[in-house]
Amino acid sequence: MSEARRGVGRGRRLPRGILPLALIAALAIAWLVPQLPFLSLGGGAESTLGDDLHVAIGSLPDQPNVIVDMDPDLGTYPEIRYATRAALADLMAVGSRVAVVSFSTEGRAIAVAEIARLRAAGAGPDRLVDLGFRSGGEAALVQLTGQPLDRDVSGATSPVLDQLQERGGGLGAFDLALVVGGGDMGPRSWIEQVEPRVPHLPVAAITPTFLLPQVQPYREAGQLVALAGTLPEAVAYGASVAGGGATSGPERVPEQPPNALAILVGMLVALAVLLESGMSGLVGGLRGASRGRRG
Amino acid sequence: MRRSIYAAVVTAVGIVILADLVVANPALGSVAGFLTGLLVLLAAAAAIAGALTLLVRHSGRIARGTDRAGSLAVLVGMTLVLVPGLLPGSAGADAPAVRWVVAALLAPLVAAIFALLFPLLLSAARRGLRLRGRESGVMLAGAAAVLVLLLPIGGEPGAWLASIAAWVQAVPVAAVFRGMLLGVAAIGALTAARILLGAEGIDE
C-alpha cells in the first residue's frame, strides 16, 4: 500500500473514545439548553394526551381516599417520576387522603423518599399515611384485600385510617387505587388479584413504556380506569397538573419535565447509527456481489 | 413419589385459593387466608435464605481467593444497606442513612446501568447487521421507523407523526404482543398441567 493511501487511511480513523465523549457532550449541552418552542414531548396545548388520569382523579368525590401502590423499578423510575409526582400533587390538590403501600423492596425505597418529600412539603398525618412494605408479592396483595388497614407502618393509628374505618375499613373503603408500576408488581397484579375480590375499586396506573403492551389491553377493556403508559402521556399529564398553578405545598409539581432536546439528540444519534450500519452492510453486500460476478 | 407429593400439595393449595375466590364461605375463607399467610412467610424466608446464600458464597470466595474484589464489593454493598437499617433504634427503611444510601448510591447506579442499554443496543445492532444482515436489517428498519414516529416534534408534523405512532402502537404492535402473551400463557398452562399430572416423566 502506498504512503499516501496509508496516510489517508490513518487520517480517517477517529481517536478511540471520541464518539462516546461527543455523545455525552451533546446530551449535556442539550440538557442545559432551555425548552425549544418547536419541540414537544407532551403533544402541545391542544393535545388530549394525559387527559385520562387527569379526568379520573378530577372525577373523584370530595376528599377521596386513595391508595397508592408504589412499586416502580429504580432503573425505569426516572421515566415516570414526573408523572408520579404530578399524580401525587394532583391527589393533594383535590383534597385526597392518600395511603402509600409497597410490595417490592425498590418500590419501598422510592415510596419512603416520596413520602418524606410530601411531608416536608406540608402533607400532614391527616392527608398522608404510610402503610409500609408488605413482603410476599402477590400473596401479600391478596392478604391486603382482606385486612382491616387500621394501623400504619409504625403500628399507630392516623386520621386517614380512622376515616377508612368509618367506611368499613379495608381496600373497599378507598375511592381509587393508583398503581405506579415498573417492577415485578404492577397493574396486572392488581387486576388479577384485587379486582375479583374488591370489584368496585377503580384502578389507575402509571407505568414505563416497556409495560405498555401488557397494560394497554386492560385499559381498553376498562379494567384500568386510567393509564399514563408512555412518556408523551406522562409529560402531558404532568404539564396539565403543573398548569393548575400551585406554587407551594404538596399540591405543587416539584420538578421540570424531561428535556425534549436531549431526548431528540439521543434519538437522532440512534437513527444515525442504525442508518450508517445499514448503509455499510448494504454497500458491503453489493461489493461482495459484484466481486463474485467478476470472479 | 416425591414429585407426586409436591404436585398434590401445589394442586390442593391452588384449588382451595381458587375456590375461595368463587365461593363465599367463611370456613373456606379462613383456610385460604391461612394458606396465603403461609405463602407470605415462604416468600420472606426465601428472601432471607437468598441473602444468607449470597453471604456464604461470597465469604467463601474471599477465603479461597477467587475474585476477591468482586465478592468484597458485594458484601460491602450489602452491609452498607443492611446495617443502617438494622441498627438498634433505627427506623428501618425510613432511617436517614438508608435513604441516603438509596438516593445517593443505589438509584444513580441502577439508572446508570439502565442508561448503558442505549450504547449496548446500538453496538448489538451493528454486530447483528454484520452477522445476520437480512433478519437484523428488517428488525432495525422497524426500530428506525418507530424512532422517527416518536420524535418529540411539535406542531402539525409532530401531530401527524404522533397519530401514526398511536395507530402503530394500537394495531400491529399490540397484535404481536397479545399473540406473544397468549402463546406464553398457553405454554405455561400446558407445562403446569403436564407437571401436575405427572406427564413430564413420560418423555424421559
Q: Is the pLDDT confidence value at A191 over 60?
A: yes
Residue B37 to residue A143, Cβ atoms within 8 A:
yes
Provide the pLDDT for residue A111.
93
Gap from B44 CA to chain A (nearest CA, Å): 6
Provide the pLDDT for residue A8.
42
pTM here is 0.84
Q: How far apart are CA B108 and CA B64, in angstroms?
A: 32
CB-nearest partner of A75 from B113, B130, B173: B113
More confident: A275 or A245 = A275
Q: Which fold has domain A41-244?
A: Rossmann fold (3.40.50)
User: Taking CB atoms and an 8 Å cutoff, what residues of chain B touch A274?
Assistant: 122, 125, 140, 143-144, 147
Q: Compute CA distances A52 → A59, B24, B81, whole Å.
A: 11, 35, 38
Instruction: Give which of B48, B90, B151 to mutate to test A binding, by max A Cβ within 10 Å.
Output: B151
CB A213 within 8 A of CB B177: yes
Residue B106 to residue A74, Cβ atoms within 8 A:
yes
Instruction: Give which of A273, A275, A276, A287 to mutate to test B binding, by max B Cβ within 10 Å.
Output: A273
Q: How far apart are CA A46 and CA A44, in angstroms?
A: 6
Provide the pLDDT for residue A9.
44
Report the candidate in A96, A45, A76 with the shortest Cα–Cα distance to residue A235: A45
Residues found in chain B? 204
CB under 8 Å to A48, separation ≥6 — which residues? Answer: none
Q: How far apart are CA A244 and CA A253, in angstroms?
A: 10
Gap from A14 CA to chain B (nearest CA, Å): 17
Q: Which three cell numbers stand for residue A38?
A: 418547536
Provide the pLDDT for residue A10.
46
Cα A42 from chain centre: 14
**Phi and psi for A197 in degrees, rounded to 5?**
-95, -30
Average pLDDT over residues A49-54: 83
CB A30 within 8 A of CB A213: no
Q: How far apart are CA A63 and CA A176, in angstroms?
A: 12
Helix (H) or strand (E) segment spanning residue A128: strand A128-133
**B37 contacts chain A (CB < 8 A):** yes
More confident: A211 or A9 = A211
Q: In this predicted complex, what is the ipTM? A: 0.78
Nearest residue of chain A to residue B29 (CA atoms):
A146
**B178 contacts chain A (CB < 8 A):** yes
Ordered by start, the domain boundaries in chain A are 17-33+260-294, 41-244
Q: Which three cell numbers stand for residue A129?
A: 399515611
Gap from A40 CA to chain B (nearest CA, Å): 5
Provide the pLDDT for residue A44.
57
**How much is the mean pLDDT over chain A?**
85
**Mind listing the pLDDT tens digit of every residue in chain B (204 residues)?**
566 787 788 888 888 888 888 888 889 888 988 998 888 888 889 989 999 999 999 999 999 988 889 999 999 988 888 888 888 888 777 788 888 888 888 888 888 888 888 888 888 888 888 887 788 888 888 888 888 888 888 788 888 888 888 888 888 888 888 888 889 989 998 988 887 777 655 444
Q: Is the pLDDT confidence value at A2 over 50?
A: no
The pLDDT tens digits of the residues spanning A153-169 come to 777 888 888 888 888 88
Report the candidate in B75, B97, B77, B78 with the shortest Cα–Cα distance to residue B87: B97
CB A208 within 8 A of CB A79: yes
**B51 contacts chain A (CB < 8 A):** no
Provide the pLDDT for residue B50.
92
Nearest residue of chain A to residue B130 (CA atoms):
A281
Long-range contacts made by residues A188-196, C-beta under 8 angstroms, separation at least 24? A188/A214, A188/A215, A188/A218, A189/A103, A189/A137, A189/A138, A189/A141, A190/A69, A190/A141, A191/A218, A191/A223, A191/A224, A192/A138, A193/A138, A193/A141, A193/A142, A193/A145, A194/A141, A194/A144, A194/A145, A195/A223, A196/B21
User: Taking CB atoms and an 8 Å cutoff, what residues of chain A touch B133?
Assistant: 281, 285
Band the pLDDT of A4: cuts 50, 70, 90.
very low
Average pLDDT over residues A141-152: 86
Report the candidate in A177, A258, A183 with the shortest Cα–Cα distance to residue A214: A183
Residue B155 to residue A38, Cβ atoms within 8 A:
yes
